[in-house]
């Protein structure tokens, strides 16, 4: 529970920052949601592709079960992107039965490494926009998130709320995390936790030591891996849970993972250590509480996911189907009934010719699994463009810029491409500052941008093979 509360408090910073590092990535998120590669996406496993969807609008619908028709619920419009295709603004509105009503506006900025620098969200109070929260992220020279500051509405203005601080080793592995809360005049250490992490030679996290001033115990999470760096076991120990002196170390639970020859997870077992002496947590015995088994097709797509629970909640069986392009199209989840599996809900997805998701539908069944009783759906309207940050790694075409940093005069070298190319140069605000045609027949093209002010710019070169972008630093 302590970790859950902490993660909820961290949700603003982790989600808004869209960080490459996430401690949970070192574990296996068995209930990992199906998501796309954009902030406003949702649903469907992301497919490797050079085309991405820049959303124009997103409409959400709710199922009217009396007529079995879809009705407006909400929409997201006014979606904009910066030159690096980071989503910077959107407006969300709700349908009140007769007209669209403002709900919230979200505005974000990004740094040169496409990490979120700030996020401001405003909500509509009926007559005016009111600031709801602001997130400000600070990074080190390697673009590791070091401080995440959350400010929330306090009275009529935004005020300090939570500050997360992180440190890293020379390999950019996070080594420490702490959370401070604002008491009205100063930052004080949160009652939840601080964490210290250690890693093995392959940069796999091996220990996560949690210390909490607000609870009578601390946790140590330990992880082990196989030769493929897949996690095979993790277990949690708590200090201070034994009744005798409250000092003994007690193993709270452990998880075990099994893989097939393709390094795909095929079994997950959760085992808590259950005490049998009333009022005394020590000693305890291992008891299998749940097992999860997964199946895959010849393309590596997840086709079945069975969760058998013996401790809490009913067991579930999930089945997945895909189209010819390996896009997920249905996900049917059933729960254990008295003697048969009963439909619980079904998710459906559609895609365009470029394998970009165009819709998502969720429908819930009644308690006996025979009738749809509720549902919602989302339809995505977008423009398909070449992803600046998603050019295929095996694409033979590439660009290089020399020198970098430079004084405004630099050379653009193209390789692996034929035909003419166009170079556009943008400042950090997305303003076009220079445009020029390039010929791949030349070994290199000299660019004269000496009139530009010092700062960070982006050189985007469009070729027949795709769009390639490089960051350029101008220093006179």
| CA atoms of 81 and 429, how far apart (whole Å) | 11
Distance, first Cα to last Cα, the chain = 54
Q: Are residues 375 and 406 in the same domain?
A: no
- Does 293 reside within a domain? yes
| CA atoms of 390 and 54, how far apart (whole Å) | 13
Window from 241-245, 331-335, 454-458 with minimum mean pLDDT = 241-245
3-state secondary structure string across 315-378: CEEEEEEECCCCCEEEEEEEEECCCCEEEEEEEEEEECCCCCEEEEEEEEECCCCCCEEEEEEE
Q: Are residues 380 and 403 in the same domain?
A: no
Residue whose structure tokens are 């295929």: 392
Number of other residues whose CB lies within 10 A of the CB of residue 4: 8
- Does 32 reside within a domain? yes
Domain C-terminal end among 386, 417, 449: 386
| CA atoms of 429 and 457, how far apart (whole Å) | 9
Yes or no: say if 472 and 456 are a contact pair by the CB < 8 Å rule. Answer: yes
- Does 391 reside within a domain? no
Q: Are residues 285 and 422 in the same domain?
A: no
Yes or no: say if 152 and 161 are a contact pair by the CB < 8 Å rule. Answer: yes
| CA atoms of 346 and 333, how far apart (whole Å) | 6
Which pLDDT score is estimated for 328? 95
pLDDT digits (tens, 9 = 90+) for 331-369: 999 998 878 999 999 999 999 988 899 999 999 999 999
- Does 444 reside within a domain? yes
- The pLDDT mean for the chain works out to 79
pLDDT digits (tens, 9 = 90+) for 54-108: 899 999 999 999 999 999 999 999 999 988 888 999 999 999 999 999 999 999 9
Residue whose structure tokens are 């000092």: 247
Sorted by sequence, the CB contacts under 8 Å of residue 90 that are 6+ apart come out as 40, 76, 77, 78, 79, 80, 105, 106
**Residue 332 or residue 244, greater confidence:** 332
pLDDT digits (tens, 9 = 90+) for 150-175: 999 988 899 999 999 999 998 889 99
- Does 393 reside within a domain? no
Sorted by sequence, the CB contacts under 8 Å of residue 385 that are 6+ apart come out as 51, 52, 54, 85
435 by DSSP, 3-state: which?
strand
Task: Tally the domains of the chain.
Answer: 2
1 by DSSP, 3-state: which?
coil
What is the domain-level CATH number for residue 416? 2.60.40.3080
φ, ψ at 182 (rounded to 5°): -90, 125
Q: Are residues 356 and 271 in the same domain?
A: yes
Over residues 227-241, the mean pLDDT reads 80
- Does 291 reside within a domain? yes
- 430 HSE (CA, 13 A, CB side): 12
- 450 HSE (CA, 13 A, CB side): 3
Residue whose structure tokens are 């000496």: 450
Q: Are residues 358 and 463 in the same domain?
A: no
- Does 392 reside within a domain? no
Q: How far is CA 250 from the centre of its chain?
A: 33
- Does 243 reside within a domain? yes
Q: How far is CA 233 from the centre of its chain?
A: 24
What are the distances in angstroms from CA 270 to CA 73, 197, 274, 294, 302?
39, 23, 12, 15, 20
Residue whose structure tokens are 């969760």: 307
| CA atoms of 125 and 104, how far apart (whole Å) | 10
Which pLDDT score is estimated for 71? 94
| CA atoms of 328 and 358, how far apart (whole Å) | 12
User: Percent of the chain at pLDDT above 90?
Assistant: 42
25 by DSSP, 3-state: which?
helix
Which pLDDT score is estimated for 322? 96
Is residue 8 within a helix (H) or strand (E), and if so which, with residue range? helix 2-17
**Residue 431 or residue 374, greater confidence:** 374
Most trustworthy range by pLDDT among 10-19, 316-325, 452-461: 316-325
Q: Are residues 336 and 356 in the same domain?
A: yes
Yes or no: say if 237 and 254 are a contact pair by the CB < 8 Å rule. Answer: no
Q: Does position 294 have pLDDT exceeding 90, yes or no?
A: yes
Domain C-terminal end among 386, 415, 445: 386
Is residue 31 within a helix (H) or strand (E), and if so which, with residue range? none
Range of the domain at 438: 398-474
| CA atoms of 379 and 92, how far apart (whole Å) | 14
| CA atoms of 157 and 151, how far apart (whole Å) | 10
Q: Are residues 380 and 417 in the same domain?
A: no
Q: Are residues 411 and 370 in the same domain?
A: no
Residue of 144, 130, 136, 113 lying closest to 12 (CA atoms):
136
Over residues 173-197, the mean pLDDT reads 85
Q: Does position 416 have pLDDT exceeding 50, yes or no?
A: yes
**Residue 237 or residue 48, greater confidence:** 237
Q: Are residues 339 and 410 in the same domain?
A: no
Yes or no: say if 175 and 167 are a contact pair by the CB < 8 Å rule. Answer: yes
Q: Does position 289 have pLDDT exceeding 90, yes or no?
A: no
| CA atoms of 456 and 473, how far apart (whole Å) | 5
Q: Does position 145 have pLDDT exceeding 70, yes or no?
A: yes
What is the model's pTM? 0.71
Beta bridge partners of 1: none
Q: Are residues 357 and 428 in the same domain?
A: no
Q: Are residues 304 and 434 in the same domain?
A: no
As to burial, measured by CB atoms within 10 angstroms (0-12 exposed, 13-18 middle, 19+ buried), residue 474 is: buried
Yes or no: say if 295 and 311 are a contact pair by the CB < 8 Å rule. Answer: no
Domain C-terminal end among 386, 409, 440: 386
Yes or no: say if 84 and 469 are a contact pair by the CB < 8 Å rule. Answer: yes
Q: Are residues 159 and 13 in the same domain?
A: yes
Yes or no: say if 447 and 434 are a contact pair by the CB < 8 Å rule. Answer: yes
Report, in this order, helix, strand and coil percent for the chain, each rounded to 5.
5, 60, 35
């Amino acid at each position: 529970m302590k970790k859950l509360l902490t993660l909820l408090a961290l949700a603003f910073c982790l989600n808004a920052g869209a960080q490459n590092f996430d401690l949970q990535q070192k574990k296996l998120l068995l209930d990992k949601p199906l998501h796309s590669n954009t902030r406003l996406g949702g649903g469907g496993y992301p497919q490797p592709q050079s085309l991405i969807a820049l959303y124009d609008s997103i409409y959400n619908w709710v199922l009217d079960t009396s007529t079995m028709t879809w009705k407006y619920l909400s929409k997201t419009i006014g979606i904009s992107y910066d030159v690096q295709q980071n989503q910077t603004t959107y407006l969300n509105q709700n349908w009140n039965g007769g007209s669209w009503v403002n709900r919230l506006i979200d505005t974000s900025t990004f740094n040169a490494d496409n990490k979120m620098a700030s996020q401001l969200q405003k909500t509509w109070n009926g007559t005016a926009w009111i600031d709801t929260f602001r997130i400000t992220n600070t990074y080190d020279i390697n673009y590791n998130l070091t401080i995440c500051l959350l400010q929330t509405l306090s009275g009529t203005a935004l005020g300090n709320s939570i500050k997360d601080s992180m440190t890293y080793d020379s390999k950019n592995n996070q080594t420490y995390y702490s959370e401070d809360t604002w008491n009205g005049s100063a930052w004080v250490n949160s009652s939840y936790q601080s964490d210290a992490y250690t890693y093995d030679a392959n940069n796999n996290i091996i220990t996560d030591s949690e210390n909490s001033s607000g609870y009578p115990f601390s946790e140590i999470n330990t992880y082990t891996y196989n030769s493929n760096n897949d996690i095979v076991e993790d277990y949690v120990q708590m200090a201070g849970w034994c009744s005798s002196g409250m000092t003994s170390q007690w193993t709270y639970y452990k998880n075990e993972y099994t893989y097939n020859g393709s390094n795909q997870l095929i079994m997950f077992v959760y085992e808590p250590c259950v005490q049998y002496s009333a009022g005394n947590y020590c000693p305890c015995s291992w008891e299998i509480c749940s097992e999860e088994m997964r199946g895959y097709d010849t393309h590596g797509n997840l086709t079945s996911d069975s969760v058998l629970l013996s401790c809490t909640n009913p067991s579930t069986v999930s089945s997945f189907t895909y189209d010819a392009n390996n896009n997920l199209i249905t996900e049917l989840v059933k729960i254990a009934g008295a003697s048969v599996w009963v439909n619980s809900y079904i998710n459906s997805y559609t895609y365009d010719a470029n394998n970009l998701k165009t819709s998502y539908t969720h429908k819930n069944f009644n308690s006996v699994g025979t009738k749809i009783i509720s549902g919602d759906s989302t339809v995505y309207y977008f423009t398909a463009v070449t992803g600046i940050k998603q050019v295929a790694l095996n694409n033979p075409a590439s660009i290089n810029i020399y020198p970098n940093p430079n004084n405004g005069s630099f050379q653009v070298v193209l390789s692996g491409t034929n035909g003419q190319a166009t170079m556009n140069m943008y400042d950090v605000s997305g303003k076009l500052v220079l445009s020029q045609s390039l010929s791949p027949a030349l070994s290199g093209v000299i660019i004269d941008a000496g009139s530009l002010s010092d700062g960070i710019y982006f050189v985007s070169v469009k070729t027949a093979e795709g769009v390639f972008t490089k960051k350029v630093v101008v220093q006179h």
